Every structure is written in C-alpha cells, then in structure tokens.
Amino acid sequence: MSKNIILNHQEIEHKIKRIAYQIYETFVDEESIVIAGIASNGYVFAEKIAAALEDISPIKVSLCKVTIHKQNPTAAITTSLTVDEYTDRGLVLVDDVLNSGTTLIYAVRHFLDAPLKKFKTAVLVDRNHKKYPVKADFKGISLSTSLLEHVQVVFDNESDCAFLS
C-alpha cells in the first residue's frame, strides 16, 4: 500500500499550537487543567499540546496518561493520576486519531465517574467514521476516508507526520 502524507511536521506543529490556543480560550478562567492523553500516541500528542499551552498561557497543566485496551475497551482503564487529582478540574481528553469513536467514548465514560468543571476532547485527525455519538471539541483536521483506508500518526521529533495508507 502506498502512503499519502496528510500532515507533515510543520503542519502538525501548527495544529498543536492552534489547539493549544483553543484550549486556552476555553479554559481561560481556570488556574489549572488536566490534559489526559490516551496511550501511546494520544499521550505523546497530549505532551505536545501541554508544552504549547504552557508556552502561551499561565494555566498550570497536569499531564495524565490514560491506558485503555483498544481491542477490549470495556476492560479496566487506568490513569497516571488519581481520581482526586482531576476531580473538580477542567480536563481535556486527547487522542491522535478519532476513528470509530470506541476508544474515546469508553475513555470519556471513565472520567465521568468524577465531577469535572469542564470536559473537552481533542484529536489530531478526525476520520468521520463514528459508531458512537462522540465528537472532538478540538481537532487538527477532519478527513473523510473510506473504511478500508488507515490513518497513522508518527511522532518522531523532527519527522512527525500523519499519513493515509
């Protein structure tokens, strides 16, 4: 299969900065928020958003790694922060690609067990093939693809890219 690059490193950096500004605008009244990234690429994307957000705003950012079994999303979900550490705070759940919405909806459900001030979602690529009523509040790019196509994001420092295969 051939690979068609849909976002190069510079475009991904631009999307990260834009999403960081949108998060800042949404949470401007908050002193601190939690950026929760779904392991593994979602967490890398969350780290990049958190770094950009800290560059442009006074908001204190706590990073949280969300571990979910993607083939069995009903299995126990673990987070690097305790429930008390994100209770009554603003939270942004981050993943690299929103495909069917399965991973995102189960991760959202996990965080709904705690009272949150505000809850938003962010993805780099939204594929528009959702099985569940979940949406990305902040997205880098929306892409209409066939079900046979696959979007992959590679975070490799200066070689970051997203491609379709």
Confidence at residue 2, expressed as pLDDT on a 0 to 100 scale:
59
Residue pair 95/126 in contact by the 8 Å Cβ criterion = no
- The residue whose two tokens read 């993943």 is 95
- In tens digits, the chain (165 residues) has pLDDT values of 457 899 999 999 999 999 999 999 999 999 999 999 999 899 999 999 999 999 999 999 999 999 999 889 889 999 999 999 999 999 999 999 998 899 999 999 999 999 999 999 999 999 887 888 889 999 999 988 777 888 899 998 888 999 888
| Distant-in-sequence contacts of 110-115, Cβ < 8 A, 24+ apart | 110/66, 110/68, 110/77, 110/79, 111/36, 111/86, 113/83, 114/83, 114/86, 114/87, 115/87, 115/88
Name the pTM for this structure.
0.94
Q: What is the DSSP string of 122-155?
A: EEEEE-S--SSS---SEEEEE----TT--EEEE-
pLDDT at 1: 45
Task: Please tell me the predicted confidence (pLDDT) of residue 144.
Answer: 83
pLDDT of residue 84: 95
